[in-house]
Amino acid sequence: MSFIDPKFSSSVDIRLIEGFSKSDLKGSTFISGFHGLGESGYIAVNHLIEQLNAVKIGYILTDLLPPFITLKQGTLSLPFEIYRHENLVLVAPSFEPYRLEQRAFSKVIVDFCIECEMKAAYLIGGLDNRLMSVDEDDDQLEDTSLESNSGSENPSNDTSATETSETSEASETSDEIVDDEFLSDLFRVVRTAAFVPPEDPNFDLIDLDEGLFVTGPLALILMYFELNNFPALAILPYAERNRPDPSAGSIALEVLNHLLELDVDLTELEEEASNIEADIQRMLDLSRSMQDERKFDQNFL
């Protein structure tokens, strides 16, 4: 499967490893997260892959593939990999797709889910935690910005939208996973019309406020899912805007534990928060240097 963007002559292709086929993925649930605010999606999906001991089954290849590889469990790890565990299919982008390829990248993912006859998709992003009101009775927010995914060509940059209302103070997400009755206060969701949430009396799925925007690959993927009448849900935990936020990733995984009846252990994610932040920061520094080199090269084309 491939998609070619005629404007930029860029192609994106999904390649499954020998021994795996699309027919094996029928009825699966798709999960992915990108490098948005707090790196929440990236942190959550990678922790999920590690905890489930998911098996690598394929790659997403692009013309502007980031020129970085590393070793994971003794094998080469590419920028965009596809994993599987039982009825879960997970895409873990180590880097944000370049801006020029984000539409093609997103469309290929959606087409892949449809062609494999998957049953639903769950995406993880992030919300600026300044949108959380300290006063539970105050639903109004003042000139605060939301960032759920990077919409910039630079993987480390986030774009934002604003909503104007009454005064609200900043509030940080707790480093501890909270009781179920408070979980709904720590995230918001965006769903396609075809998505029907499972019944769970312990918490509610509260929609994102009107007037706020989701951006970047997550937004594009949701658009294409909506256009294809495919059930999809974006989980947006409140997160720190200026640093990787493992606690926000934990909140997203706690929600998935409920919705998909998983039992993912979040202890290690909480205990290793400082190391996770340092590792991600090094990766973001690589992304910036790569982007600077690309801009330099383009000036001499």
**Distance, CA of 195 to CA of 49 (rounded, Å):** 24
Q: Give the β-pairing of 161-163 and 187-191.
A: unpaired
CATH code for position 41? 3.40.50.10900
In a domain, 136, yes or no: no
* Coil, strand or helix at 219: helix
In a domain, 242, yes or no: yes
> How many folded domains does the chain comprise?
1
Kindly provide the b/e burial profile for residues 231-255, where b requires at least 16 CB atoms within 10 angstroms of the residue's own CB.
Answer: bbbbbbbbbbbeebbbbbbbbbbbb
pLDDT of residue 87: 96
* Domain with 107 in it: 2-131+141-298
pLDDT tens by residue, 219-276 = 999 999 999 999 999 999 999 888 888 889 999 999 999 999 999 999 888 776 666 6
Whether 230 contacts 22, CB under 8 Å: no
Give the list of residues 6+ apart from residue 270 with CB closer than 8 angstroms, or none: 175, 176, 177, 246, 247, 250
In a domain, 166, yes or no: yes
pLDDT tens by residue, 48-89 = 999 999 999 999 999 988 888 888 878 888 989 999 999 999
In a domain, 54, yes or no: yes
